[in-house]
Structure 1
Amino acid sequence: MAGADGDDSLYPIAVLIDELRNEDVQLRLNSIKKLSTIALALGVERTRTELLPFLTDTIYDEDEVLLALAEQLGNFTMLVGGPEYVHCLLPPLESLATVEETVVRDKAVESLRKISQEHSPVDLEVHFEPLTLVMPTLRQAAEDKSWRVRYMVADKFSELQKAVGPEITKNDLVPAFQNLLKDCEAEVRSAAAKKIKEFCENLPEDSRETIIMTHILSCVKELVSDTSQHVKSALASVIMGLSTILGKDNTVEHLLPLFLAQLKDECPEVRLNIISNLDCVNEVIGIRQLSQSLLPAIVELAEDAKWRVRLAIIEYMPLLAGQLGVEFFDEKLNTLCMAWLIDHVYAIREAATCNLMKLVEKFGAEWAQNTIVPKVLGMANDPNYLHRMTTLFCINSLSEACGQDITTKHMLPVVLKMSNDQVANVRFNVAKSLQKIGPVLDSNALQTEVKPVLEKLATDTDMDVKYFAQEAIRGKDSTLSIFFYEVSS
């Protein structure tokens, strides 16, 4: 195996260079797989001084070639002269650990871990540990050409912030975070936006407000009108939390306009995320300053064409009611809650019924008697039998929260009257309702009013009505059946 110039010592490197420059990927891959043979031919000194520098300078190949190289180098300890010289393998493996393809990076890290066990304690400190120096790698990763790498930096930014400490955060991470918030890829901006509150909370206390107002707030303002709804939604899920960090004056002057802008955003998820985090602002400035802009946003969400959006705002209604207060609720939102009870989607009607129960638990039975109960009972005369059934569902939910007096005097008569409904579905739901509210009623009402009606329904011409009535009277787990048995005994 002599080279063209007759020098055997140059031949292996010359051949390797030619093969690695060949357009045939398979040829390049085969040459990498025989690196150990080439290293043996070169000897340990030339492997260290010629082969490894060449490999370090030429890491730009196809992923499968780089993967093979990363794996080969993990077995090179004896080929470079043993543990005394194993640190020579660090430069090419370090370069491989920073390439774009994940599997290559993982294999390079695996090989680094493998050869780390072959370092002496002194060599570990001198040669290997400088590879755990975070900032050079972090700076490079934050500006990596691959958006997926930048995304991962943004996604793990809070953990990185805690790891490097306050000084490096102020000097290095703040500019890096700004760049991620302004990244050209929406996925990266979205990941960074989700970390804004946590990043700001973990800033050094003595300079937190200055850093936020000087460096972060301008980025936040840009994100409020971002072209991506995912970015705006991510921001909306955390932006309210900045109010507790910046305090009342800064919130009113700088954050409030941003909250109001997002409450008017065309994307329902953005408005929902703002509304769902109102408690943060309520703690700092009170909800009244938001209420006038809040109401139109709530109404739009409540009437959104997507039923899942309507469902989401219903779930937040008890929270809003508690923050806005009973007077505001009665004036602005009561009608909205009642309208949900006749929505054409069953899931909305069901959620609206549950919502009423939570509102009664929050505002009390007296409020319910004056505000909610009359409207619910009025639906018992609705021409649409589905709405009449909703009355029964509401009574089922409200009875316990309203208590025995209201249930017996106001709700029970309506349920009993509905036992004569022409629609069988309504009648058998009457039987189920009587079983449901039975534990709330007093013994006299059960014996003189409920029992006769159930006995009548138990002889109904409709099989389902008859079944549910009999279940209410004799059912194994029925409170009514126990009571009727005790009375008859």
Structure 2
Amino acid sequence: MATPMDEGDDSLYPIAVLIDELKNDDVQLRLNSIRRLSTIGLALGEERTRVELVPFLNDSIDDEDEVLQALAEELGNFVPLVGGPEHAHTLLAPLESLAGVEETAVREKAVLSLRKIAESLDVAQLDTHLVPLVHRLATGDWFTSRISACGLFAAAYRLNNDAKKAELRQSFAQLCIDETPMVRRAAAAKFGEFAGVIEPAFVKTELMTAFTALAQDEQDSVRLLAVEGGVAIARLLTPAENETLIMPSVRAAAVDKSWRVRYMLADKLIDLQRAVGTEITKADLLNFFVALLKDNEAEVRTIASQKIPDFANNLDEDVRLNAVLTLMMPCVKELSNDNSQHVRSALASVVMLLAPILGRDHTVEHLLPVFLQLLKDEFPEVRLNIISKLDCVNRVIGIDMLSQSLLPAIVDLAEDRQWRVRLAIIEYIPLLASQLGVEFFDEKLSNLCMTWLGDCVFSIREAATLNIKKLVDTFGLDWARSSIIPKVLSMYRHPNYLYRMTTLFAVNLLIDVVDVDSLTHMILPVVLPMAKDTVPNVRFNVAKTLEKIAMRISKDVIETHMKPVLQSLQEDGDGDVKYFATHALEAAGV
């Protein structure tokens, strides 16, 4: 096929190639062409990109959704290629077309690009180009364009013209009562954003009517999104205004027949609590929160449970302790026995954060029984979540009281049949050790850590060796020399070669944290005899370990003790052993 380049017109070549590629039947080829638009734009220059490329793209919006999505995304980066902000409005036409297509992903990319371009437009350009575009989309025959319009009002509102601002507010309010539920849903999703850019006086008047309509919509998918919009408005109002304008909708949401609306209220309750202030929280939100903790739907109880400590901490100090003890703790005790494991897991991840609020005596009386209940839960995730917040309780009641209840749970988790559960508790052991102290660790947990070194799952053995290094960092070198290193090294003669391999893995990690004396007189005498192991994997790991040790010990020790062993490994019958031995000798410089 002849192209303009064949006829000697180099200037048209990029467009000609793009035309051919976009007419190709291969979707991937067309997609690749769209992704090279920036390169083509640079080749054409700013003027030809505006005059030729953008209009061509506008005429080409009839393709697979994947291609159109890529085009919508690329155009958002085209402002520098068309000559900067002064000419950015030339990109609006193709994006307007893309904002009206049927495919949601394409429209979303088009709206994002339109918003990005709007940031570069001055007020005059917004007035001349973007506002008319928003009105066209908002009054389009197809609901798809009206959905896209909802995401552009906040970007277009940056005007100096009061009359056009009023038109935008009126247009947005009309979308809030659109006949199509999907449009109302889009308006509800962008309600808070639009409320944040308009003048407060209009929020209390024009926008409140639209908000009330959304909050009372027949579709629960609209009502639940209105909850977030209500939070955004509440931040802009005084407590008295919130009581009059926002709280009626909040009260309705708290008892909404749809659990999804109640779920959204529970999810946004902390933001709402901060927005409406302490008086409304005491008068209304506290009771709503208790009701949500007792909700019939497990999903609602789960999300509400996660909010317990934040809600409590945001209460006024003069009512906080009493509210927690009289209203929230009875719910907490019920939730610790909830039928849903997800509810119990959510509770376990946060309930211990109540300890600083309750203080020592109330924690022992009210929170510790919940702690013990969750430690015995049949689901490992619940037990892990409760242990992960152990430090909160430890700081309040002390480790002596806590450790009596803690040890059985740790042992259960350490021996859990699911290796991922064992892995999780291993990773938590160093933090736990720092909280429990060295004496408790040596007496109760040291042997447990050694057991993990011989686990049948490699990931557990690997985590256990990393655990050893972290424990040395926590308790210090003297403790390591007396308590842990001898136990690790004692495994080098174990009948199972996996134990012997784990010894080498642990040694490799300890090399970085022990002193030269320990390395020379404790570790090296154990590693060297392992060079005669019957398993090749052990022998070549010995060579690799000796190479690392050589980086820290004296040349005399290397010459006297290490070199002969490595030379014997060079004569090994296994190729890998030979290779690593030779590499170790070269690295050691002997």
* TM-score (norm: length of structure 2): 0.63
- CA-to-aligned-CA distance 1:256-302 (integer Å, 9 cap, x gap): 11111111111111111111111111111112212121111001100
Moved more, 157-166 or 364-373: 364-373
Distance 2:504 2:491 in 1: 9
The structure-2 alpha-carbon separation of the partners of 1:406 and 1:138, relative to structure 1 and needing over 3 Å to count, comes to: same
Instruction: Indicate the residue corresponding to 2:489 in structure 1.
Output: 377
Structure 2 counterpart of 1:367, which letter?
W
Structure 1 counterpart of 2:559, which letter?
Q
The structure-2 alpha-carbon separation of the partners of 1:195 and 1:115, relative to structure 1 and needing over 3 Å to count, comes to: closer
Distance 2:415 2:174 in 1: 61
CA contact (8 A) 2:345 2:385 kept: yes
Distance 2:419 2:321 in 1: 41
Distance 2:201 2:514 in 1: 76
CA contact (8 A) 1:93 1:112 kept: no
Specify which of 542, 555, 578 is matched with residue 443 of structure 1: 555
Specify which of 258, 264, 283 is matched with residue 146 of structure 1: 258
Per the TM alignment, residue 313 of structure 1 is displaced from its structure 2 partner at its CA by 0.3
Q: Secondary structure at the match of 1:460?
A: coil
Instruction: Find the structure with the greater CA-based Rg.
Output: 1
- CA-to-aligned-CA distance 1:337-370 (integer Å, 9 cap, x gap): 0000000000000000011111111112222222
Instruction: Indicate the residue corresponding to 1:457 in structure 2.
Output: 569
Distance 2:518 2:263 in 1: 57
Distance 2:200 2:376 in 1: 61
The yes-or-no answer on 1:166 pairing with 2:278 is yes
CA contact (8 A) 1:432 1:469 kept: yes
Distance 2:533 2:252 in 1: 74
The yes-or-no answer on 1:244 pairing with 2:360 is no
The structure-2 alpha-carbon separation of the partners of 1:466 and 1:200, relative to structure 1 and needing over 3 Å to count, comes to: same
Q: Secondary structure at the match of 2:495?
A: coil
The structure-2 alpha-carbon separation of the partners of 1:108 and 1:270, relative to structure 1 and needing over 3 Å to count, comes to: closer
The answer to which structure, 1 or 2, has the higher relative contact order (CA under 8 A, 6+ apart) is: 1
The structure-2 alpha-carbon separation of the partners of 1:204 and 1:450, relative to structure 1 and needing over 3 Å to count, comes to: same
CA contact (8 A) 1:83 1:120 kept: no
Instruction: Indicate the residue corresponding to 2:344 in structure 1.
Output: 232
Per the TM alignment, residue 105 of structure 1 is displaced from its structure 2 partner at its CA by 2.4
Per the TM alignment, residue 436 of structure 1 is displaced from its structure 2 partner at its CA by 2.0
Per the TM alignment, residue 308 of structure 1 is displaced from its structure 2 partner at its CA by 0.2
Instruction: Indicate the residue corresponding to 1:276 in structure 2.
Output: 388
- CA-to-aligned-CA distance 1:187-232 (integer Å, 9 cap, x gap): 1111111111111111112211111112111111111111111111
Per the TM alignment, residue 438 of structure 1 is displaced from its structure 2 partner at its CA by 2.3
Instruction: Indicate the residue corresponding to 1:406 in structure 2.
Output: 518
Instruction: Indicate the residue corresponding to 1:106 in structure 2.
Output: 186
The yes-or-no answer on 1:360 pairing with 2:472 is yes
Per the TM alignment, residue 111 of structure 1 is displaced from its structure 2 partner at its CA by 9.2
Structure 2 counterpart of 1:184, which letter?
N
Structure 1 counterpart of 2:429, which letter?
M
Q: Secondary structure at the match of 2:511?
A: helix
The yes-or-no answer on 1:388 pairing with 2:500 is yes
Distance 1:83 1:459 in 2: 86
Gap regions ≥5 residues in structure 2: 1-142, 151-163, 212-232, 234-244
CA contact (8 A) 2:176 2:183 kept: no
Say what the alpha-carbon RMSD is for the aligned residues. 3.3
Structure 2 counterpart of 1:104, which letter?
R
CA contact (8 A) 2:414 2:425 kept: yes
CA contact (8 A) 2:423 2:460 kept: yes
The structure-2 alpha-carbon separation of the partners of 1:426 and 1:240, relative to structure 1 and needing over 3 Å to count, comes to: same
Spell out the pairing of 1:33-52 with structure 2 (5 A cutoff): none
Spell out the pairing of 1:53-132 with structure 2 (5 A cutoff): 104-107=184-187, 125-129=204-208, 131=211, 132=233
The structure-2 alpha-carbon separation of the partners of 1:261 and 1:84, relative to structure 1 and needing over 3 Å to count, comes to: closer
CA contact (8 A) 2:453 2:465 kept: yes
Specify which of 459, 464, 474 is matched with residue 347 of structure 1: 459
Distance 2:373 2:549 in 1: 46
Distance 2:268 2:199 in 1: 32
Instruction: Indicate the residue corresponding to 1:134 in structure 2.
Output: 246
The structure-2 alpha-carbon separation of the partners of 1:460 and 1:259, relative to structure 1 and needing over 3 Å to count, comes to: same
Distance 1:126 1:166 in 2: 25
Query: Identity over aligned residues, as a percent?
Result: 55
The structure-2 alpha-carbon separation of the partners of 1:199 and 1:426, relative to structure 1 and needing over 3 Å to count, comes to: same
Q: Secondary structure at the match of 1:408?
A: helix
Spell out the pairing of 1:208-219 with structure 2 (5 A cutoff): 208-219=320-331
* TM-score (norm: length of structure 1): 0.75
CA contact (8 A) 1:181 1:219 kept: yes
Alignment coverage as a number of residue pairs:
404
CA contact (8 A) 2:175 2:184 kept: no
Structure 1 counterpart of 2:519, which letter?
T
The structure-2 alpha-carbon separation of the partners of 1:126 and 1:435, relative to structure 1 and needing over 3 Å to count, comes to: same
Distance 2:196 2:276 in 1: 23
Distance 1:423 1:255 in 2: 54
Distance 1:294 1:148 in 2: 37
Structure 1 counterpart of 2:351, which letter?
I
Distance 1:111 1:202 in 2: 26
Q: Secondary structure at the match of 2:252?
A: helix
Instruction: Indicate the residue corresponding to 2:288 in structure 1.
Output: 176
The yes-or-no answer on 1:197 pairing with 2:309 is yes
